Structures are given as structure tokens and as C-alpha cells.
Structure 1
Amino acid sequence: CGSCWAFSVVGAVQSVYAIGGSQLEQLSVQQVVDCSFKNKGCDGGSPSVALTWLKQTKVKLVTQSDYPYKAKTGICHFFSRSHGGVSVKDFSLQDFSGQEEAMMGQLVQNGPLAVIVDAVSWQDYLGGIIQHHCTSQWSNHAVLVVGYDTTGEIPYWIVQNSWGTSWGNE
């Protein structure tokens, strides 16, 4: 299921919610896959379109236990306005191409960032630091940037990917 765009958005929303002092809850990726109507469910989508949908419709993201992930596009399930959940009041879109210091600042100030990347070279990842420099012209995958490390010889971003536990380092 090509739902990386939904995973990155939900990861960012639930992180910001927890950083704001609320209990960290796993929010429903499936709700975004099924209900973000201008996206294409498991056939792909855009984090910015999903965030715009959440802000404009004032839809509350419910918990993963209320709306479990199925890894396929389904029919949108609606919840009453009185049902608990997390809403998106605001967000910003920024192009950080060639501006890694600015991106680090946003990450520190606001928390994890939903980003789009050129992940063609990631398909063959076996471990360590990916040293392929992404092009800003081509993006084909969405991830959640959760940190960075500049203390070693090779600085790197720490990302949360949606490809399962067999990909990446824990």
C-alpha cells in the first residue's frame, strides 16, 4: 500500500500533539488513507494535501485502535464531532532544498517534520548512512524526520519510514 504520505502526516500530528503536553497516542493512518479525498489512498498522495484536508474539514484524527490500519484503501468511516481525537489547526509548508540548517532549526523548534524525498537509492539500503544526495526536482516518497546527528564524520538525518521493520536501523 503506497500510504507513506499518510504515515508521515499522522506521525507529525501525533508527535506535535504529544510535545504540546498530551499523552502520545497512535493516531489512525487508515483514517487519512480512506478519507483524505483529494489523495489516492494506497495509490499515493501528498502530505500537504492531507494536512490541508485536515485543517479545512476540521476532521479529528481518531486513535489507531478506533480505526485500525488495513494496508488497503477502504470506505471512509465518519465519527461524531463529540468523538475524541486530534485536529490540525495550522501547519506550514517549506522548501528546505539546500537549507539543512534551517530544517534543523524547524525540527528543534516544532518537532518531527513530514517531508518528501527522492528515495530511489533507498530501495537497496543495507545499513549505515545513506550518502546519496537527493535531488529537489524529484520526490517519490514521504517520511517523518525525527532527528539529526552532526557530531560524527558524516552528518545525517534520522527518519521514520513506513516500509516496515525489515528496512532500516532501529
Structure 2
Amino acid sequence: MPKYFLTGERGTGKSHIVEKLIELYRVTGFLTRFDKRRKELYLRFIQGPEYLIGKREKKKIQPIPEGFLKASKEIPELETSSKLLVIDEIGFLEECCEEFRRAVKNLLEHSDNCLCVLRKGKFPFIKELLTLGGFETIEVTVRNRESILSFLIEEYKKAGL
């Protein structure tokens, strides 16, 4: 039951690790990605819909609570047995929607094999997630990202994924 939180500075390769694992294993979960102009942020379910969860206004990202609320209704439907649960990433926008936070926490607590990317910083929801039992936190740097990728590949292989 390998369960990991990945954290690290922006640009260190956390999403690179996630993308490589998605290529190798049967996965479920969701990714947050900007549009090409980096104006809108979407939460994209790996095998499903996507929801607008943030918009850049005056250089700052503003949360879209309705998008998080819609996504929170999809989360309980994710099938995690014999799959790797991937979440990339949890940050500060999630603070706007209690239902979403509750659904993510429940999903993480009840999944056996997880990789969840957490934005670096002191945010209440991330602080709460870090108290969950059974998770190991790994800090990714440019120097260690390839060795962390190799380590995670081996861990999930041993778990039978």
C-alpha cells in the first residue's frame, strides 16, 4: 500500500513524475492544468470530464467554487481498486469548497495506492492532508526527481500495479 505525497518548488518535476507513472500504470484520479494561454485552470479527471476551477485576473488566480463543487460530485465515483490514484495537484484554491476538500480527503483515506502532489506552502487543507496516516512525504528537487521516479516505479511495481 504505497501512499505518497510529493511536494517541492515550482518547476522541479513533480508533474513530470506523475506523467511518467500515468504512462506505466492503470491510474485513476485527476490533474489540474492550465489552458494554453495560462488564463484558466481546469481540473481534468483522467477518465472523465473536466471543470474550470480557476481564472487568472490581474496576475492572480481566482477560484471558481462551482467548478470545485461539480468535481466533488465526481470524486466518490472514482474506482481505485487495483489502480494507482493520482492527484496533481492540491494547492490553495481548494480552500473555497468544503465539499471538494471532504471528498478528496475521503478518497485519499480509502485508497490503497496513491500519489498526491501538494503545492509547497502553508495552506490549511494541505496541512490537514499531511496529518493523514499511512502517507510518506517526498520533496522533489531538480537533482532528485529521476531517482524519485525510479523509486516510485519500483514501489508501485511491488504493490502489484
Tell me whether the two structures share a fold, i.e. TM-score over 0.5. no
TM-score (norm 1): 0.28
Structure (1/2) with the larger strand percentage: 2
Structure (1/2) with the larger helix percentage: 2
- Which of 1 and 2 has greater Rg? 1
